[in-house]
Structure 1
């Protein structure tokens, strides 16, 4: 395996898998280069002195020749072509790194913390985009870099390595004598001090610490590099980053990109609209009441549906034959949640009890009930990554959320309870298990740290929230709000980044979903009987699908959407018409398939982005 395959973080479809090995609150650094000079304007902060100069045009097809050459040298090294990298450096006269930069890199990766701190503390900042004098042998920091912040990160790494190796006395000494005197990030200091009390197993759970400490040091170096002038120290794997950006740009321009395979660099990329799931492939008519929930299992093998008829039906996701019918609830089922291992299913209804089932056998594993005198219904639930723990919520302030464990000695008692000033309507947990998200009966979104059970932050949105859906990368969530839009919220930076409009919602509980192989789409039902699909990055409304009919109350509402996580060309929808529709990118030729003759062919009820861009 070549170095780039072993070490660099693979980016697919524009999504970066960049794990952090720091404790819950990750330290962020200034973006690399925001206040430094670009080569060619002002005085350059060159990465080493030139060996020799061959007269050449300073640009290559509009790009800075020095920048491009040094990035190519780094890329060749990444791919293991050391000889080619050396030849290019000798021929061009450009060095990748100065001795001081190389020494800093080596000190971080080898864990020689005093050397790393010495080089850092003696490094000047760039001012006004440049530095006077010969800076070729210096480690130059970006103008907005915070040395205390960088020192904190280095000493934190030192503390964590001692902690993981169980040298608790040395770790405590670093905490007291090196980290605390910096007077930086009090919250993080408290988190670090709490880690001293953790067992080895608890540390591994919270830190996700790698077997090789150099992996954690590499992550630290990548963060520190963001505060170093880019003309002095190029961020690791910069060529790969730029190529990822090229691919991301092509994906974002492709309205129907729905594959996990990254585009080729050989040619421009475009997906066909015909490969997108816009056709009704099957209609499931087992329910005798309105359908409130549809949910594919995480492994994509099963589909669970439930609703007004108090019944949860489990189908296989190949032929959509009924596997189980779960019928012990005494009220309409309003929520479903699969465990991450796809073996267990939580059902919540308009009653004080929620149930946990063995999905395939239909055996009832556990019944949970919040201990509140008013016996309010359990409204929602979410699983932790271990598939043994889950959180449920209800409209009671005293027991608004409860954490349960299937491995507890007493299954009737929660292992933790949250109480507070508001009642909870919906709850979700990020796939990494780090954050618990919930919303009240109105417009309040609250985020908790699942390691400490403490509130992390809260946001007030513009109208009532009806559901929460976390993304697979743990960074964003989708929320439907009553005024008729879906918002994409960045929970790392704590603000809405995109708003998707066009649907009709009002007071109805309508659930959204991320769609596509790389979650490139946002999907939601609507009170007007349509399914709306937007491109997540460019906000384009690419499809409006119709097919669901009116329910018993003469409403057309599509209540729930679920995209198959293992088949990007399939998703399911449920509505007030008591039907579940399976949407696909191909129409089945099975003559025995059930179709409702009262519903027109989906192609006739579809509005394509290619025909309606003027309305966007």
Structure 2
């Protein structure tokens, strides 16, 4: 929020004045006796220290709090827990080697800025000509809005309805939960799956949603009449790991299983209309047009043409299994996540445009920020990584107590949801 930016800048202006006063005191006493107080210089935890255990509520006003990587050193004085400035009485002495602290204004704005992009700026096409990106640092926050927690079951998937009013999540509890974004009330669907639910997806512009499960089935639900499922799709011979609805032909539902089988279903006719091979971990239709289907299998991502049923690309380069994939809202770019690496691909060329290493933080999920398309939100173990791909800068936000298995975003509300093995779902904005 603007209050954050004003507070941020005010703090640094005060630090500037303090720094100048400290330097003046040093000059005035340079010929006098040495300081005998024995007070040592201390600063906050380094940017590479492990994140602290997150609290349930992010302190109000702290936007994108956390560790930063690939950034100027004068931003690193924030502690790893993101709770504020280091409290040393002599910390300004430690800051002097970092240069002019007044330059923070430029650094805050540059984290979201695309001004220095070159001809290969992959986000130039993502900026809407009628609705340009909001000015960097003006109105941008990323803090916890709310949290919902199960009793003792890991949550592995989540998805927003088209209007952003309902968030569905599911996992080891074997029944999906609907979270009303206006009242924050929750409602359970019946427990009809016999094993854990692996994915949940809303049918576009509809009150229907589908769930997939290790019990080898896909179930169709209507949230206006959730007493029981509307239909159960059977035919997979292995655990169903993921599913998705076509964005335009919304009667088309797709699912994949642990043996790499991808099945196309006609929701209206309750029938399987095609079977292909190529996806074991996750499948996602290209937004807007639905021309392509991205399917992750082991360390490879395949891009299938939905109309011709042919493979357009085989995207290779991950060293370990790809855990998840996500499209940007235009459908021009695809991100793929493995434990050690995130890659962003151009669908027009099939080339890897950008990549970032996890540096040991076991990446698992990702989603493009709903309001800032140059930001990719990456879910790892306990923390979220905000990665500005144009600037190649990252900021780590302590978020959960376990693996962040799934992320979802709503372009309508600007919300991001994170589902974790710590039995909780959190909202961020």
Q: In which range does the TM-score fall when normalised by the shorter chain?
A: 0.5 to 0.7
Describe the shift of the 1:505–1:540 C-alpha distance in structure 2 as closer, same or farther (beyond 3 A): closer
| Aligned length, in residue pairs | 306
Relative to structure 1, the CA distance from residue 290 to residue 277 in structure 2 (aligned partners, 3 Å threshold; closer, same or farther) is: farther
Q: Is the 8 A contact 2:111 2:388 kept in 1?
A: no
The residue aligned with 2:57 is: none
Q: Are 1:365 and 2:219 counterparts?
A: no
Q: Given the superposition, is the C-alpha separation of residues 343 and 537 from structure 1 closer, same or farther in structure 2, using an over 3 Å criterion?
A: farther
Matched residues in 1 for 2:399 and 2:281: separation?
A: 29
Q: Does 1:562 align with 2:396?
A: no
**Alignment counterpart, residue 309 of structure 1, candidates 173, 187, 204:** 173
Structure having the higher strand fraction is 2
> Does structure 2 retain, via aligned residues, the 8 Å contact 1:503–1:525?
no
Identify the residue that residue 53 of structure 1 maps to in structure 2.
none
Spell out the pairing of 1:342-491 with structure 2 (5 A cutoff): 342-362=206-226, 363-371=228-236, 375-384=237-246, 385-396=248-259, 400-408=261-269, 411=270, 413-419=271-277, 424-431=280-287, 432-440=289-297, 442-463=298-319, 464-482=321-339, 484-491=340-347
Output the CA distance in 1 between the equivalents of 2:409 and 2:360: 21
Secondary structure of the corresponding residue to residue 283 of structure 1: strand
How do 1:24-39 residues align onto structure 2 when only pairs under 5 Å count? Answer: none
Matched, 1:283 2:137: no
**Deviation string for 1:325-373 (max 9, x for gaps)?**
34211111121122221422111122211111113322422211225xx
Could you tell me which runs of 5 or more consecutive residues in structure 2 were left unpaired when the two chains were aligned.
1-109, 118-126
Q: 1:430 to 1:530 in 2, by over 3 A?
A: same
Match of 1:271 in 2: 137
Mapping of residues 523-534 of structure 1, within 5 Å: 523-527=377-381, 529-534=382-387
Q: Say if 1:561 and 1:501 are closer, same or farther in 2 by CA, change over 3 A.
A: same
Larger RCO (CA within 8 A; separation ≥ 6): 2
Report if aligned partners of 2:199, 2:212 keep a CA contact under 8 Å in 1: yes
8 Å Cα contact 2:146-2:427 kept in structure 1 = yes
- After superposition, the Cα gap between the structure-2 partners of 1:503 and 1:321, relative to the gap in structure 1 and judged at 3 Å, is farther
Distance in 2, matches of 1:567 and 1:536, equals 23
What is aligned with 2:132?
262
> What whole-Å deviation, never above 9, does each CA across 1:373-422 have from its counterpart, x for those lacking one?
xx31111111112221111111235xx111111222xx2x3111114xx5
**Residues 47-446 of structure 1 mapped to structure 2, 5 A cutoff:** 251-253=113-115, 261-262=131-132, 269-272=135-138, 275-362=139-226, 363-371=228-236, 375-384=237-246, 385-396=248-259, 400-408=261-269, 411=270, 413-419=271-277, 424-431=280-287, 432-440=289-297, 442-446=298-302
Counterparts in 2 of 1:562 and 1:263: CA distance versus 1, 3 Å: closer
Return closer, same or farther for 1:299/1:423 CA change in 2, 3 Å cut-off: closer
Q: Distance in 1 between matches of 2:188 and 2:111?
A: 44
| Structure 1 residue 429: Cα displacement | 0.9
- 2: CA distance, partners of 1:416 / 1:342: 24
1:515 alignment counterpart = 369
Whether the 8 Å contact between 1:468 and 1:480 is mirrored in structure 2 is yes
From 536, 556, 559, the equivalent of 2:389 is 536
SS in 2 for 1:315: strand
1:425/1:279 Cα in 2 relative to 1: closer, same or farther (>3 Å)? Answer: closer
Give the distance between the partners of 2:377 and 2:359, measured in 1 at CA.
10
Tell me the residue number matched to 1:571: 416
Distance, in Å, in 1 between the alignment partners of 2:224 and 2:187 is: 7
CA distance in 2, matches of 1:520, 1:423: 27
Q: Is the 8 A contact 1:291 1:306 kept in 2?
A: yes
Over 3 Å counting, the alpha-carbon distance change for 1:378 and 1:249 in structure 2 is closer
Runs of 4+ off more than 4 Å: 248-251, 258-261, 503-506
Q: Provide the rounded CA distance (Å) in 1 between the counterparts of 2:290 and 2:153.
A: 34
Q: CA deviation at 1:468?
A: 1.3
Assess, with a 3 A threshold, how the Cα gap between structure 1 residues 396 and 517 changes in structure 2: closer, same or farther: same
Aligned to 2:412, the other structure's residue is in SS state coil
- 1:415 is paired with a residue whose SS is strand
Higher normalized helix content (fraction of residues): 1
Rate the CA distance shift 1:443–1:547 in 2: closer, same or farther, 3 A. Answer: closer
Counterparts of 2:180 and 2:268, CA distance in 1: 28
By how many angstroms is 1:485 displaced? Answer: 2.0
Offset of 1:438 from its aligned partner?
0.9
Q: Residue 290 of structure 1: CA displacement?
A: 1.0
1:501 maps to 2:378: no
User: 1:261 Cα shift?
Assistant: 4.2
Residues of 1 paired with 2:360 and 2:202: CA distance?
28
Q: Contact conserved, 1:335 with 1:379, CA < 8 A, in 2?
A: yes
Q: Between Structure 1 and Structure 2, whose CA radius of gyration is higher?
A: 1
Q: Distance in 1 between matches of 2:216 and 2:267?
A: 19
- Is the partner of 2:114 in helix, strand or coil? helix
- TM-score normalized by the length of structure 1: 0.46
